[in-house]
């Protein structure tokens, strides 16, 4: 592959607040994660030159202005802030804002923070009519809540590729085993295939243990210029962010990506070369100058067990219909060739929306440093994250060392 086309930034600090249902204000989790990231980086809050906050829509006005909210909670220092929102991709957008600030030369040190306090039950839109939003439409026109939406994808895998409920359960079993060693995970209990099949049916073919929960939690990172990192770390080499993809769909491709889920206005227009979710990872690979075969470890968005299998294919780890073979052969386990979700994924964490993309990068940082005690992959050098936010927000980050 060619060399990277975008300059890199260093990851000096990563920090998290454990996921759970704690009942506190989201700011509590974000500040705890921020202080942990600053301590990990070995720098003081006063050394930070920019704050990027990932927004939460469920926590009132402070959630809409998260950058300023976290800066105030840590102690005003006069530095610039920004706040980003892209649903589940919000954290990647905040990371990208910080990266751009550093690469522009406007600051050397940036803090990125995301945190959420979530309601019980499955998430649903909390804003009024949005008739031009396909995600809102599938809620209102099709009655496709998130579990229903996930189930449609699962049923498609079964119909197209012969996936079975045992394959889906194997994803949960794998992730629960990985999460045992993660002190930040909410669920640290090994789950068997029998446990999955015995859990209540939510949206056929998915059962309760196939679908992630909603959680409270926070994650934060300290990014710096490479020059700052060299001065701060001396001979020690930092983990680097080599790419961040925040792409959107290409017309007439849809966010939903279900067969025939398009309007008549798209008739006769050729489909783009890549589906939306494929384009997310492809853009990151192109930016970093690498390909899927270079990846050693991945954190992907397992909203449901079946969706994790989709990501194997969308990220190019295998061809269409081959994801089941990867899970059956143990390729994506900790001791496999390509560990996926060594953190335990959302199966063990649940959704704390603005923190999720940041948490994925925290995990890969620890993996590439060799610090993921109890869940460490075998000497990874390249890691990739992937998730997708409502209304066409892509999210993928590539880390290297």
pLDDT, one tens digit per residue, over 101-135 is 999 999 999 999 999 999 887 776 655 666 777 77
Residue 81: partners with Cβ closer than 8 Å, 6 or more residues away: 50, 51, 52, 53, 67, 68, 71
Q: Write out the DSSP string of 192-254.
A: -HHHHHHSPEEETTEEGGGB--B-EEEEEEEEE-HHHHHHHHTTPPPEEEEEEE-----TT--
pLDDT reading at 264 higher than 60 = no
Mean pLDDT over the full length of the chain: 92
Q: What is the pLDDT of residue 21?
A: 95
251 pLDDT band, cuts 50/70/90, is confident
Residue 3 lies in a domain: no
Biggest CA-to-CA distance, the chain: 60
Residue 357 lies in a domain: yes
CATH of the domain at 265: 3.40.47.10
Put simply, whether the predicted model's pTM sits higher than 0.85 gets the answer: yes
* Closest by CA position to 203, among listed 164, 259, 152: 152
Q: What is the pLDDT of residue 249?
A: 87
pLDDT, one tens digit per residue, over 320-370 is 999 999 999 999 999 999 999 999 999 999 999 999 999 999 999 999 999
Residue 4 lies in a domain: no
2 pLDDT band, cuts 50/70/90, is very low
270 pLDDT band, cuts 50/70/90, is low
B/e letters for 322-347, b = 16+ CB within 10 Å, e = fewer, are ebbebbeeebbbbebebbbbbbbbbb
The number of folded domains in the chain is 1
pLDDT, one tens digit per residue, over 139-175 is 777 777 889 989 999 999 999 999 999 999 999 999 9
pLDDT reading at 263 higher than 60 = no
Residue 145 lies in a domain: yes
Span 8-15, average pLDDT = 97
Residue 2 lies in a domain: no
Dihedral angle over CA of 287, 302, 216, 35, nearest 10: -30
The residue range of the domain holding 37 is: 9-119+130-400
Distance of CA 291 to the CA centre of its chain: 19
């Amino acid at each position: 592959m060619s060399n990277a086309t975008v300059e890199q930034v260093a990851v000096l600090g990563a920090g998290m607040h454990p996921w759970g249902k704690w009942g506190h204000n989201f700011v509590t989790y974000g500040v705890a994660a921020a202080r942990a990231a600053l301590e990990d980086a070995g720098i003081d809050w006063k050394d930070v030159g920019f704050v990027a906050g990932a927004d939460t829509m469920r926590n009132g006005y402070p959630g809409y202005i998260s950058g300023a909210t976290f800066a105030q909670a840590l102690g005003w220092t006069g530095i610039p802030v920004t706040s980003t929102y892209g649903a589940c991709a919000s954290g990647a957008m905040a990371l990208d804002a910080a990266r751009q600030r550093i690469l522009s030369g406007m600051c050397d040190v940036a803090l990125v923070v995301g945190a959420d306090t979530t309601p019980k039950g499955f998430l649903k839109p909390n804003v009024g009519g949005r008739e031009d939003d396909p995600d809102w439409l599938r809620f209102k026109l099709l009655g496709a809540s998130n579990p229903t939406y996930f189930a449609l994808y699962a049923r498609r895998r079964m119909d197209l590729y012969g996936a079975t409920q045992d394959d889906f359960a194997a994803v949960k079993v794998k992730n629960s085993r990985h999460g045992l060693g993660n002190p930040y995970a909410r669920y640290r209990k090994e789950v068997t295939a029998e446990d999955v099949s015995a859990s209540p049916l939510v949206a056929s073919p998915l059962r309760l243990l196939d679908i992630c929960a909603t959680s409270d939690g926070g994650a934060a990172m300290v990014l710096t210029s490479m020059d700052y990192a060299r001065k701060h770390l001396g001979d020690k080499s930092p983990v680097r962010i080599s790419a961040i993809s925040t792409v959107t769909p290409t017309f007439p491709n849809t966010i939903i990506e279900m067969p025939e889920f398009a309007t008549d206005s798209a008739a006769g227009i050729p489909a783009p070369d890549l589906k939306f979710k494929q384009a997310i990872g492809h853009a990151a690979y192109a930016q970093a100058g690498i390909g899927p075969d270079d990846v050693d470890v991945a954190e992907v968005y397992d909203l449901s067990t079946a969706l994790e299998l989709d990501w194997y294919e969308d990220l190019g780890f295998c061809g269409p219909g081959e994801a089941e073979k990867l899970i059956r052969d143990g390729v994506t386990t900790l001791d496999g060739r390509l560990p996926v979700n060594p953190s335990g994924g959302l199966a063990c964490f649940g959704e704390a929306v603005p923190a999720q993309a940041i948490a994925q990068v925290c995990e890969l940082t620890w993996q590439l440093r060799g610090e993921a005690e109890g869940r460490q992959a075998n000497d990874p050098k390249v890691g990739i994250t992937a998730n997708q936010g409502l209304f066409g927000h892509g999210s993928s980050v590539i880390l290297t060392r």
